[in-house]
Structure 1
Amino acid sequence: GVLSYSKILRPENLALLPVGDDVRLIGDVSSGRLSRLDTSGRRKHHKSVGIVHLKISSFRESKSDDRRFYIFTATKTLHLRTNSKKDRVAWVEALASSRCLFSLRPLNDTLSLVPNDISISTERLNKRLLEEGISEVIVKDCEQIMLSEFLEVQGQFKVLCEERSSLLDTLRQLEAANIEAEASGIHDNEYQLTKHEYLSSGRGKYSECSTTESSDDIEKQELEEVSDEEETSFFDTKEYFSELTACCGSVTEVANHMANPVEPENRIDDMKMIAEKEIIDSRYPQIERRKKLPDPVEKEKGVSLWSMIKDNVGKDLTRVCLPVYFNEPISSLQKCFEDLEYSYLLDRAYEHGKAGNRLLRVLNVAAFAVSGYASSEGRHCKPFNPLLGETYEADYPEKGIHFFSEKVSHHPTLIACHCEGRGWKFWGDSNLRSKFWGRSIQVDPVGVLTLEFDDGEVFQWSKVTTTIYNLILGKVYCDHHGTMHIHGNRQYSCKLRFKEQSILDRNPHQVHGFVEDVTGKKVATLFGKWDDSMYYMNGDGTSKPKDLADASLLWKRSKPPLNLTRYNLTSFAITLNELMSGLQEKLPPTDSRLRPDQRHLENGEFEKANAEKLRLERRQRMSRKLQENGWKPRWFQREGEDGPFRYVGGYWEAREQGNWDGCPNIFGEYNEDLVNSSEGS
C-alpha cells in the first residue's frame, strides 16, 4: 500500500517495469515508451525520491480538468495529471484498490524471539577421540571444557534475543503511535478541504509539494489573495522540510563542493578571512552583552493556529488579536537591524575598495546581502508589528556602527532605517505585499536598500520573495527565492539567484550568481547557501570540477547560542532587546525596548503580555486617524511624493542632550490630545 515516485528530467530516461501479473501499465503513451525502450535498450532505473502511504491518504479528482487528480496526506499534496480521462479513472481505481488490499499490520509475532532450549551433542567427537587412542579421562575433560564455553555463548545469545524482543516491542508502540498521528492528521486535512476548500483554490506555483504546475480552479486564485497590513510586517519562520525523505536524482559538482569545502586552499583563505576580521574588530572596544534571554516567570501555554482560525470564522480579522504565543520578543524595527549582524563584511568591502580592489568590494557586498537571510533559519515566530512612530536605536561600538529605524507609515506599513559604519552608510525603507494561498503566504518586499561608501561608490538592491509554508498543518518553514540584482554605479554589478526549494531537493537554500563589469563580462562567480556560507571564484564559472578547490570563502554563518529557546534567536538577536545599565535613561519614549507587551513576553510574563498587546492594538487602530490628520514621522522625510524615506538627522544629537520634546508616549494610554496635536503640526 505504498506509492513511490521519482524525479525524471527527460521522458526518454523513463524506466518502466516489465508488464506482468503484479505490474499494470496505464495509458497509450506509456505503452509506446515501453516499446521504444525495449527496442533501444536504454533503460535507466531511478531512485525513489518520495513515498506516500495509501492507507492514510485520500484522493480527489479535479472538477475543472478531467485529467488531473490529487493525493492528500497529512503533510503534503501531490498534483498529478494523466494523458486522458480514461487514464485518470484507471489511476484512481488502482490507488483505491491498493489501499483496500494492504492493511497496516503490526509487526510479526509468530517468530520465537528467545530460544527455550539450545543444546549440542558431543557423541561424534567422543567417538572420534577414542578411535585415535585418547584416554577416556582426557576425552571427558575436553567435553566439559567445550560445554562450559558453549554455555557462556548461549547466555550471551539469550541476552541479545531479549534485547531484540524489547526493541520490537518499542517499534510496535512507535508504529501504533505513528499510524494514529498520521491518521488524525488526514482527518484534519479532510475537514480543512471540505470546510474551507483551501486546496481547490489559491494554490498556483506556491504549492510546496506539486509535481506539476497546478491549474485547478485557477480563476479563483485572485479571490484568495489577502493583504494583511496589520500583521504581515515580517514572516521569518521555521525552515526545513519535515517530509524530506529522499534526494534528487543528481547533485551538481558545485553543490558537492559546497557540502565539503575543506580543501587545504580553503583553510588558508578561511584563516586569512578570520585574521582580517580580527584586525578590523580590534579597532573597536569590547562590550559584554547578554548570552541568553531571561528565564520565564510563567509556564507558557501552547495555542493552535488552526483552532484560532476556526473560532474566528466570519469575524473582522482586523479586530482579532493574536496571542503573543505567535510572536518573538523583538519588533520588526529590531529585525531590520538584525540584517546587519555581519557588518564586518561592509568594513572589509570598504578596506578592499580603499586599496583599489573593486572586485573584492562588490563580492563582500554580495555576501552581506545574502547574510541577512541566515537568521531566518529555524525561526517560526513573527516579530511585533511596531506602532506608528515607534523607533529603535542600536549603538554597537564593538561593531563600529550605530543604527536607527522608525515606523513612518501605518497604511501601508513602512519602516525606514539608517545605519552608519566606518567608511560607509546604509539606508532604506521597506513595505511588504503579502498573498495568502491557503496553506502558505507569499511575501514580496517593496523598497530599495542603498549602500554608499565614503569614496562615492554606491550599491543598490531589493530583497527577494519569501514564502512561508504549512501554516495550517505540518511543519512550518520558510524559503527565500527569486533574483537579486545588486547595481553598482562604478565598475561592477552583481546578480544572485536564490533557488526555490522543492520537495525533491535535498540540498536546499542554494544561492548562485556572478559579478559582471560595465561591458557585461562575467569576472567572478558566487555560490553557497543563504543559511550557511558564500564562496567565490574568479572567472565566469565554467571551470572544470577539479578546479573548484580554488574557491574562496567570503562569509560563514556564526554558531548558534548554547541556550536555545523555542524562538531560535541567534546570539546577535538575543542582544537586540537588552536594556543595559544606564541605557533606559537615554532612550526616547518611542523606543521598542520600552514596549510593555514585548518586554513581558521576553520575561516570560505571558498573561501580562497578552493584556498589553490587546491594549496596544486597540490604540494602534487609531493610527489611521493620526495619519489622515497629517501625522509626519519625526526622524525621516520622504523624497518627493512617492520617493524613499531618508534620515533627516538630529536623533543622536537629541540623545546626547536628552531632549525628546515632540516624542509622544506612544505606549501609554490613548487620548484625543495626541490626535489633536497632530492636526496642528
Structure 2
Amino acid sequence: MRARDLHPLCCLPVDCPGGWCAAAGDRSSSPPPNHPATVAGVLHKWTNIGKGWRPRWFAILRGGLLAYSKIRRRSAGAAASPGLSADGGPRLIGPAGYGAAAEDRPIGFLHLKISSFRESKSDDKRFYIITPTKTLQLRTDSPKDRVAWIEALVSARRESSPSEGLLCDQNDASFSTDRLRNRMHAEGLGEEVIKDCEQIVHSEFSQYYTQMKQRCEEYLSFLGSLPQQLEVLNEQDTTRSIRPECSCSGHGKCSESSNTETSDDVGYQELDELSDEDDYIFCDTRQSFSDSASSPDLRMTCSNSSNDVHQVDHEFVESISSKGDNECLLLPSKRRTKLPEPVEKEKGVSLWSMIKDNVGKDLTRVCLPVYFNEPISSLQKCFEDLEYSHLLDRAYEYGLKGNSVMRILCVAAFAVSGYASSDGRPCKPFNPLLGETYEADYPENGIRFFSEKVSHHPMVMACHCEGRGWRFWGESNVKSKFWGQTIQLDPVGVLTLEFDDGEIFKWSKVTTAINNLIIGKLYCHHHGTMSISGNRQHSCKLTFKQQSFLERNPRQVQGFVEDTDGTKVATLTGKWDESMYCAVTNDKSEATLLWEKNKPPANPTRYNLSSFAITLNELTPKLKEKLPPTDSRLRPDQRHLENGEYDKANSEKLRLETRQRMARKMQDNGWKPRWFDRDTEDGTFHFTGGYWEAREQRRWDGCRDIFGELSDNRASAVLPVVDSSSM
C-alpha cells in the first residue's frame, strides 16, 4: 500500500476523506460533497463600525461545521444554496434567503464542537457564537428565528463527534516498502535480511503511529472540554476577572478591518468586535491556548464584565499568585451586588410645591427631602468616574511601548466613560458636609482613591487617586441653575492625570442638563467641548453634541487627536452612554473599540445605580474599624436612605443640614481641610498625603465628628472665633 501523509498535529489525512482540511477562513476552499448542509438561512453578521450589519448565508454542515458565505442574488423562488444542499436541500430558517444564495466559496467556518452560544439580553434578535479564536455577533429577522438557530446549533454541536474522520485505522495508515526492498535486492542482500529490515521499519512506524494517535486523542479531549470551560468562564460570577488589553499594535487585530469586500475573512488570531450591552471580555488567543495547553485546569480566567465590575489585570493576578498564600489572603472579599431590602415603603412628594418655591434659586441652598436623593454622596460620585480605570492602565502600557497616540486615545475614552453612569439616574447624590471624606481602596482594580469636601461656599470637592503607573487628581465645583423644567450644571475645575514617565494630561468636564422635571420622562444629556491637553506630543478635542428634538442619534461624541503641528493623527466617535471607537489616520484598518459600557446589575433599583456604584457605600464591620469619623459611609441620613428607613433619613438630613449652616462661619474663621492644601498661586487644592499611613495606624488626629450631635458648648469649641451677633 502507498504511504499516506499525516497531519502533524492530529493524524488527519491530508486528502481528508472524513473532514474539511481548509484552514480557518481559507477563501480558496469549499465544503466537500460529503458535508452537505442540514440547516441554512440568512443571518445578519456584524462586520465593523464602517460597514455595520451585513447579510450572510449561514449553513450548518454535517460533521459539526458552520460555514458562512457572501450572498449573491438569484430567483425569488429558489430556496437553497448551491453547493450546500443535498437530499432535497437543507432546512431553512427564516425567510427563504430573500431570494439569495451563497457564493460558491465560503469565507469562513467554525467548528461547533468547540463553540458556545450566548443570547443577547438587550436585543431579542441577537446572539453570539463564541470560540477560543473568534466571536461572531449575529442577528436574525425575528425572535422566533433566533430560538430556531440556537436550537439547531446546539443540536449540531451535540451530534458532532470531534474524532469523526480525524483518526484513521492503523492498517489504512500503512506504507509501502517496495523502494526499500528493491534497493536491498540491488545490493545483493538476501530475502531474510530484507524481511528483518521491513519488520524493523514496521515496528518503528507502529510506535510512531501510536504516539501520534495518543497525542491526537489528548488534543481531541481538550477540544471536547472547551465548550464546558467556556460556559464556566462566561457565566462565572466572581470579583476577580481579567481585563485584557485590546491593542491595535499587539499580536492580532481587534476587529474585522478592511475597506474591501474581503472584510469577512477572519484570521486565526482575529476577534470580531461586539457592539452590544452584553460586554464580553476575551483573552489574547495565543496566551489563552498556551495557558490551556500547559495547565489543564485553565489557570487564566475570563468572565463577563457586566457581572464582574472589578476587573483584575492578568499581570496583577500573576503578581498576587507569586507572593504566596499569606499575602493572597489580604485580597478583599466579594463586594456586594445589590442594595439592602428597604425597611419601609417609600412615600412620594409633590413636585409642584417644590418647584414653585425654588425657581431661580441656587440648588446648593435648597433643602430637599431624601426622596430626591440616591444613597451615595457627591464624594462617592467622584470615584464613580473611575469605574473604567483599566483604560488608564492600558494607556500607561501603551506609553511604555512608545505608542503615544493610543495612550491619549485611551485617556480620551476614560474621560468619556465617566458619563456612562449618569444615564437614567433620576436622583441626585447627597451634598457632603464640610470636612466630609471618602476613601476607596480597590486592590482588585489596582487603585486607591481619596476625596474631601474642602470648601462649603463655593462647594468644592478635591480628590486624589493612585493607580498602576499613574496618578489622578482634581477638584469639582459645580455651578447650578434651576429653571423650573431644566437644571443646568456647569462644572468648574481641572482634572489632571500624570503617568509615572512624566506625561501629563489635563481636561475639564462639559455642561450637564437635566430635563423634564415637570412633564415627561426625566433624562439628562451632556453637551459642550472637552479639550484634553498634554505636555508632550498630542492633544485631543472631544465634542459632546447637544441633544435636540429632531436628533435621531442622540448622545454622540466625536473628536480627534492632533500633534503639536496641528495635524490630525486619529479620530474618535461613539456615544457617552454606550461605547467609544477610534481610528488612526495612517492605519488602513477600520475603527477599533476603545471602551464599552458595562451591563446593568442583575438586581436593579429605582435609583438605577450601576454595579460599580452599588459597591461604593458598602460598610462591613472590618472596614468600619479602619475609617475616620468623617467618611461618607458613616453619614446617618445616607445610611438610613440605603436601608429604606425614610422617616429617619429625613429627620437626620434636616439635623445635619441645620448643623451644616455653621460651616460657613467655620470657613470664614480660618477653617482648613485636613488632607488637602490650597495652592497660593492658582488656588487649586493638592493632596498633602499621610491619609493611608494614618489609616494603617488608626490615628485620626484633627478629624472632627461631623455627623454627631452638636451642643451649644461644642459649637463654641468647633467655631473658635464667632461673633455672637452673627449667631
- The TM tier, using the shorter chain, reads 0.5 to 0.7
| Shift of residue 581, structure 1, vs aligned partner | 3.7
> Contact 1:625 / 1:675 at 8 angstroms: preserved in 2?
no
DSSP-derived class of the 2:553 partner? coil
2:558 aligns with: 512
**How far is the alpha carbon of 1:321 from its aligned partner?**
2.9
Match of residue 12 from structure 2: none
Contact 2:355 2:484 in 1 (8 A): no
User: What amino acid sits opposite 2:499 in the alignment?
Assistant: F
Structure 1 counterpart of 2:690, which letter? G
2:584 paired residue among 535, 538, 558:
538
Return the alpha-carbon distance in structure 2 between the equivalents of residues 264 and 497 of structure 1.
34
Does residue 556 (structure 1) correspond to residue 596 (structure 2)? The answer is yes
Question: Mapping of 1:99-178 within 5 angstroms?
Answer: none
Unpaired stretches in structure 1, ≥5 consecutive residues: 1-256
Measure, in 2, the Cα distance between the counterparts of 1:315 and 1:485. 30
Residues 1:579 and 2:611 aligned together: no
Give the Cα–Cα distance (whole angstroms) in 1 for the partners of residues 687 and 663 of structure 2: 22
Output aligned runs, 1:399-410, within 5 Å: 399-410=445-456
Q: Which residue in 2 is equivalent to 1:503? A: 549
Contact 1:408 1:633 in 2 (8 A): yes
Residues 1:590 and 2:630 aligned together: yes
Partner in structure 2 of residue 470 of structure 1: 516
Report Cα offsets for 1:313-346 as digits up to 9, x if no partner.
9999987631100000000000000000000000
Deviations 1:173-211 (A, max 9, x none): xxxxxxxxxxxxxxxxxxxxxxxxxxxxxxxxxxxxxxx
1:424 to 466, 470, 484: 470
| Separation in structure 1 between the aligned mates of residue 356 and residue 668 of structure 2, nearest angstrom | 34
Asked if 1:389 is matched to 2:435, the reply is: yes
Give SS of 2:346's match: coil
Structure 2 distance, partners of 1:623, 1:609, is 21
* CA spacing shift, 1:505–1:630, aligned 2, 3 Å: same
Contact 2:360/2:481 (8 A) holds in 1: no
User: Alignment partner for residue 570 of structure 1, among 597, 602, 610?
Assistant: 610
Hey, what does 1:279 align to over in structure 2? 314
Question: Do the aligned partners of 1:630 and 1:678 also contact (CA within 8 Å) in 2?
Answer: no
Q: Secondary structure at the match of 2:283?
A: helix
Write out per-residue CA displacement over residues 512-541 of structure 1, whole angstroms, 9 at most, x where no aligned residue. 00111111100001000000000000118x
Aligned pair 1:665/2:711, yes or no? no
Change (3 A) 1:676 1:438: same
Match among 526, 531, 544 for residue 480 of structure 1: 526
The corresponding residue for 2:340 is: 294
- 2:496–2:504 Cα contact (<8 Å) kept: yes
CA-atom RMSD in angstroms: 2.8
Counterpart of 1:226 in structure 2 is none
- Change beyond 3 A, Cα 1:317–1:338: closer
CA distance in 2, matches of 1:680, 1:470: 45
Which of 571, 580, 604 pairs up with 2:644?
A: 604
2:575 pairs with one of 522, 529, 534: 529
Retained in 2: the 8 A contact 1:626–1:675?
Answer: no
Amino acid at match of 2:703: C
Contact 2:363-2:482 at 8 Å conserved across structures? no
CA deviation vs aligned residue, 1:10-58 (integer Å, no higher than 9, x gap): xxxxxxxxxxxxxxxxxxxxxxxxxxxxxxxxxxxxxxxxxxxxxxxxx
Q: Deviations over 1:151-181 (max 9, x none)?
A: xxxxxxxxxxxxxxxxxxxxxxxxxxxxxxx
Please point out which of 407, 410, 424 is paired with 1:364.
410
Deviations 1:253-280 (A, max 9, x none): xxxx9xxx99969844669974377425
Q: How many Å separate the matches in 2 of 1:396 and 1:571?
A: 14
Cα distance in 1 between the residues matched to 2:483 and 2:272:
47
2:341–2:644 CA contact under 8 A, matched in 1? yes
Q: Hey, what's the Cα distance between the residues in 2 that align with 1:493 and 1:652?
A: 34
Q: Kindly tell me: are residues 306 and 397 of structure 1, through their superposed partners in 2, closer, same or farther at Cα, counting changes over 3 Å?
A: same
State the secondary structure of the residue aligned to 2:478: strand
CA shift for structure 1 position 305: 1.7
- Residues 1:299 and 1:370: Cα distance change in structure 2 (over 3 Å): same
| Letter aligned with residue 617 of structure 1 | E
CA distance in 1, matches of 2:693, 2:363: 41
Tell me: CA distance 1:264–1:427, structure 2 relative to 1, closer, same or farther (3 Å). Answer: farther
Runs of at least 5 residues in structure 2 that lack an aligned partner in the other structure: 1-258, 285-311, 321-330, 723-727
- Contact 1:630 1:679 (C-alpha < 8 Å) held by counterparts: no
1:304 equivalent to 2:312? Answer no
Cα 1:275–1:581 shift into 2, 3 Å: farther
Q: Matches of residues 91-106 of structure 1 in structure 2 within 5 Å?
A: none
| Residue deviations 1:44-96 (CA, integer Å, cap 9, x gap) | xxxxxxxxxxxxxxxxxxxxxxxxxxxxxxxxxxxxxxxxxxxxxxxxxxxxx
User: 1:473 offset after TM fit, Å?
Assistant: 2.1
CA distance in structure 1 between the partners assigned to 2:444 and 2:333 by the alignment: 6
Indicate conservation of the 8 Å contact 1:280/1:344, yes or no: no
Counterpart residue type for residue 555 of structure 1: W
The aligned residue for residue 614 of structure 1 is 654
Of the three residues 696, 703, 712, the one matched with 1:656 is 696
Q: 1:404 to 1:314 in 2, by over 3 A?
A: closer
Deviations 1:444-486 (CA, angstroms, capped at 9, x unpaired): 1000000000000000000001011112222111100000000
Aligned residues: 416
Per the TM alignment, residue 670 of structure 1 is displaced from its structure 2 partner at its CA by 2.0
Distance in 1, matches of 2:551 and 2:443, equals 42
SS in 1 for 2:449: strand
> Is the alpha carbon distance of 1:459 and 1:319 closer, same or farther for their aligned partners in structure 2, counting shifts above 3 Å?
closer
Contact 1:527 1:534 in 2 (8 A): yes
Cα distance change, pair 537–262 in 1 and its aligned pair in 2 (3 A): farther
SS at structure 1 position matched to 2:566: coil
Relative to structure 1, is the Cα distance of residues 312 and 454 closer, same or farther in structure 2, using a 3 angstrom cutoff? closer
Distance 2:493 2:485 in 1: 26
Does the Cα contact within 8 Å between 2:474 and 2:496 map onto a contact in 1? yes
Which of the numbers 348, 357, 376 marks the counterpart of 1:330? 376
Q: What is the alpha-carbon distance in structure 2 between the residues aligned to residue 469 and residue 315 of structure 1? A: 17
In the aligned structure 2, how far is the partner of 1:674 from the partner of 1:263?
73
Residue 348 of structure 1 aligns to a residue in which SS?
helix
Distance 1:446 1:318 in 2: 15
1:319 & 1:272 partners in 2: Cα distance?
Answer: 44
1:587 aligned partner, one-letter code: L
Q: CA deviation at 1:642?
A: 4.3
* In structure 2, C-alpha distance between the alignment counterparts of 1:623 and 1:309, rounded to whole Å: 26
Corresponding residue of 2:494: 448
Larger RCO (alpha carbons 8 Å, 6+ apart): 1
Aligned twin of 2:423: 377
What's the % identity of the aligned pairs?
70
Deviation of 1:576 after TM superposition, in Å, equals: 0.1
Deviations 1:120-165 (A, max 9, x none): xxxxxxxxxxxxxxxxxxxxxxxxxxxxxxxxxxxxxxxxxxxxxx
Change (3 A) 1:262 1:381: farther
Q: What is the deviation of 1:439?
A: 1.3
- Structure 2 counterparts to residues 140-289 of structure 1, below 5 A: 267-268=271-272, 274-275=282-283, 278-280=313-315, 282=317, 283=319, 285=331, 287-289=333-335
Aligned to 1:112: none
Q: Deviations over 1:570-618 (max 9, x none)?
A: 0000000001240001100000000000000000000100010010010
What letter corresponds to residue 532 of structure 2 in structure 1?
I
Q: CA deviation at 1:435?
A: 2.5
Matching residue of 1:76: none
Question: 2:461·2:477 contact (CA, 8 Å) conserved in 1?
Answer: yes
Structure with the largest fraction of helix: 1
